[in-house]
Amino acid sequence: MASTLFDLHAVDKKTLPPLPALRAFEAAARHMSFSRAGTELHVTAAAISHQIKLLERWLGVPLFARRPNGVVLTAAGSDYALRLRDVFDRLLLTSRALRDHQARPVVRIRCQFSVAAMWLTSRVATLARERPDLEIRLIAAEHRATGPLGADIAIYFPRSELPRHTQHLLFPGRFRAFAAPSLVGRGALPRPAEVATLPLLHLAVEEKGWTSPGFAEWFEEAGVEVASPLPGLRFNLAHLATQAATLGTGVALLPDNLCVDAQRQGLLVALPGPALPAPLPFMLMCRDTPEEPVAWVRDALLAAAASQTRLVE
């Protein structure tokens, strides 16, 4: 049997249609002209006609009716053009999304667990809304006293040496007594002598050479005698002690800068009494001359911390 234009015996149906032919057909169907499609694709009208014939042979149906004064889409061609345009649109959107994602600058921030949970997460969410062109990655990890930061920005206690980096003071921090309104009520807050009668939640953070201040020091500073050792639950991370305090489990001695959000939300109240200085401040560490996205995030976090520190002092 003689082969015809629409003979598919030689066509591998498992393969895609010829992609240059698809482009030629989509352009020709949109312009309803082989010559204008050729101008758009920088080829001749004859080349467009050749590609469309290849596609028609692959499909086994005519897509255009050739007439002396031009071409018109067949019913099959019109339907195919609509479907193909949708495919091209989705391909374009998918490709642009991937390209834009790859092109977005990435700013990695590494910090201690409680800083991430109690302070940094909400600030990063605000920054992401202000700069949707950036991809900000928050990495919670233990304090690393030596070696590379492993991120563009790090928030930890100060290091003795960090070549080619600047350590900016984020907040000095003081430890205050905090409790949930469900434990202490919303009227007159308990004084230190009354706190001694309430359940206590102890934060015991130990680093080389220092420990976080505890209730024994707090009561001594307040001039209240208490028995030793003091009973109560003990935690090694501030956000764990904070979570227990917000549940009304007891009074916790916590870094005031990390409790700002919980206070604003009405989850915790600061109790009257001493404010004990933190053994070490939190520092924001960054390269001396970072690229613009990193510098912008650095400056925004430092500004947020400075504004907050003025409120808690």
Residue 58: phi and psi, rounded to 5, are -65, -40
53, 85, 103 — which closes off a domain? 103
| Domain encompassing residue 78 | 19-103
Residue 143, pLDDT > 50, answer: yes
Both 36 and 77 in a single domain? Answer: yes
87, 103, 119 — which closes off a domain? 103
- Specify the CATH number for the domain of residue 54: 1.10.10.10
- Cα-based angle 210, 142, 312 (whole degrees, multiple of 5): 65
Both 71 and 193 in a single domain? Answer: no
Instruction: Select from 156, 171, 166 the least CA-distant residue to 116.
Output: 156
Total of domains in the chain: 3
Sequence letter at residue 63: L
Residue 238: phi and psi, rounded to 5, are -65, -40
Report if residue 11 sits inside a domain: no
- Specify the CATH number for the domain of residue 257: 3.40.190.10
Supply the pLDDT for residue 268. 96
Q: How many percent of the chain have pLDDT more than 70?
A: 89
Both 305 and 271 in a single domain? Answer: no
Both 80 and 221 in a single domain? Answer: no
Both 40 and 91 in a single domain? Answer: yes
Both 99 and 158 in a single domain? Answer: no
- pLDDT band for position 194 (50/70/90)? very high
Contact criterion met (CB below 8 Å) for 246 and 181:
no
Contact criterion met (CB below 8 Å) for 298 and 281:
no
Mean pLDDT along residues 103-126: 91
Report if residue 186 sits inside a domain: yes
User: Which two three-digit tokens encode residue 180?
Assistant: 């949930």
- pLDDT band for position 229 (50/70/90)? confident
* pLDDT digit string, tens, across residues 263-284: 999 999 999 999 999 888 999 9
Both 200 and 265 in a single domain? Answer: yes
Mean pLDDT along residues 292-296: 95
- pLDDT band for position 6 (50/70/90)? very low
DSSP code per residue over the chain? ----TT--TTS-TTSPPPHHHHHHHHHHHHHT-HHHHHHHHTS-HHHHHHHHHHHHHHHTS--EEEETTEEEE-HHHHHHHHHHHHHHHHHHHHHHHHHHHHHS-EEEEEE-HHHIIIIIHHHHHHHHHH-TTSEEEEEE-----SS--SSSEEEES--S--TTEEEEEEE--EEEEEE-HHHH-SSSPPPHHHHTTS-EEEE--EETTEE---HHHHHHHHT----SSPPSEEESSHHHHHHHHHTTS-EEEEEGGGGHHHHHTTS-EEPSS--EEPSS-EEEEEESS--HHHHHHHHHHHHHHHHHHHHH-
Report if residue 13 sits inside a domain: no
Both 179 and 40 in a single domain? Answer: no
Report if residue 5 sits inside a domain: no
Predicted model pTM: 0.65
d(CA 305, CA 118): 13
Report if residue 8 sits inside a domain: no
Residue 262, pLDDT > 70, answer: yes
